[in-house]
Amino acid sequence: MECISRDELHKIQGERLAATVKREYENVPVYRERMDAAGVKPEDIRSVEDLQYLPFMEKTDLRDYYPFGLLASPQEEIVRIHGSSGTTGKPIVSGYTRNDVDVWSEMMARTLTAAGATRGDIVQVTYGLGLFTGGFGAYQGADRIGAMVIPMSSGNTQRQIMMMKDLGATMLCCTPSYASYLGETIREMGIDPKKDLKLKAGCFGAEPWTEEMRQRIEQLLEIDACDIYGLTEIAGPGVAFECLEKNGMHINEDHVIAEIIDPTTGKQLPYGMHGELVFTTITKTGMPMMRYRTHDICTLTADKCACGRTLARMGRIVGRTDDMLVIRGVNVFPSQIESVLVGADGVAPHYMLIVDRVNSSDTLEVQVEMTEEMFGDTVAHIENVRKYITAQIKSVVGIASKVKLVAPKSIPRSEGKAKRVIDNRKL
């Protein structure tokens, strides 16, 4: 399936899309109402090209019809519930049938295999094991391959490293910010990743990260760091994955269809253009998602990869439409600022963006940690670095900011998703 011709793939997608739309129409009243309002019937959807006529779905739908209002299968067929992390109030939940768990496991097995995992590997999973899909997804994928799994879950960094060393973990699955933190701690403990550990690669996701962050992780841990993508509403991690070519994430297109749309008009955009990523599940039976707006901004390409896979690839997420910062009329994505900070000498990739409003004008303060070496440097040199970063940020995002270099380890660490923004304008 990963190397199937595009024509064959489109035929399979069309057949599966038609069946899923019919299932959704017959079993989910709210979506049937939306299709009727749009003048679309299941028999109108016969190919991928017809996708554009279907109504969108949003995260708000999962909140509005919580917990079981979007199920397309009888409740007794739901074998698993997962929910999104980082939300307040009632969680976003999705119901999985046995079929859905099997499909998800296969997608995550492909993900780990693309990063070099085999039956002989030892996979350490430090994503949280709970409602959040990360831990279970990585576990299921490794189990499908037949690899040994260390289901550590998140937290307790010293114990993580001890188990990693003693059990000889060869693959690591966690957030990129925690991978960086693990690498820093390993170095501080005097452990040589090349000599004392057996890690060879890692699959990192659940939060946006830059190419510069990848390079830092690879240097700290001396591994191949591969990007992965997923979301609870679609199937958890494994929706898309990087191979060792590291030139975009292969989308499991026999299970999901990806589109790029203009976030304002909702119109489809051609491959190669930045826009909002939209997914439609075509094999999910418990809670299918039709044209689900992720609010992630990226590009798509269908060029064949050097690895031999013909699956379309999504580029690195460059920001989001819903948590994008608008500062003095300028769209600012945290990843833009991170690319500057990770590439600057003397600072660590730990930062916080603080947005405020003073005298009716928006302000942006960028707090970034200094390295231990920089912290002990001269005041003049530290000031020169601060001025350089300030100028680079203005060049990249187009607005002036206040850059504050802070002491090492002073910005709170996260063993889950990193918190990067404090927007006081909402208070």
Contacts with 43 (C-beta within 8 Å, 6 or more apart), sequence order: none
Average pLDDT of the segment spanning 391-419: 86
- Report the chain's terminal Cα–Cα distance, integer Å: 49
Indicate the helix (H) or strand (E) that contains 320: strand 319-320
**383-402 residue pLDDT tens:** 999 999 999 999 988 889 99
Phi and psi at residue 114, to the nearest 5°:
-65, -25
Average pLDDT of the segment spanning 66-85: 93
pLDDT band at 223 (very low <50, low <70, confident <90, very high): very high
Structure tokens at 141: 């994928």
**282-304 residue pLDDT tens:** 999 999 999 999 999 999 999 99
Residue 241's DSSP bridge partners are: 228, 250
Does the pLDDT of residue 207 top 90, yes or no? no
Does the pLDDT of residue 234 top 50, yes or no? yes
Which candidate, 324, 145, 335, 155, places its Cα nearest to that of 238?
145
**140-178 residue pLDDT tens:** 999 999 999 999 998 899 999 999 999 999 999 998 888
All structural domains of the chain, each given as residue ranges with its CATH number in brackets, are 96-320 (3.40.50.12780), 325-426 (3.30.300.30)
The predicted model scores a pTM of: 0.82
Q: Which residue has the tokens 């390295």?
A: 371
Q: Is the dihedral of CA 366, 367, 373, 378 positive or negative?
A: positive
Would strands 402-406 and 361-370 be described as parallel, antiparallel, or unpaired? parallel
Would strands 122-125 and 148-151 be described as parallel, antiparallel, or unpaired? parallel
Give percent of the chain with pLDDT exceeding 70.
97
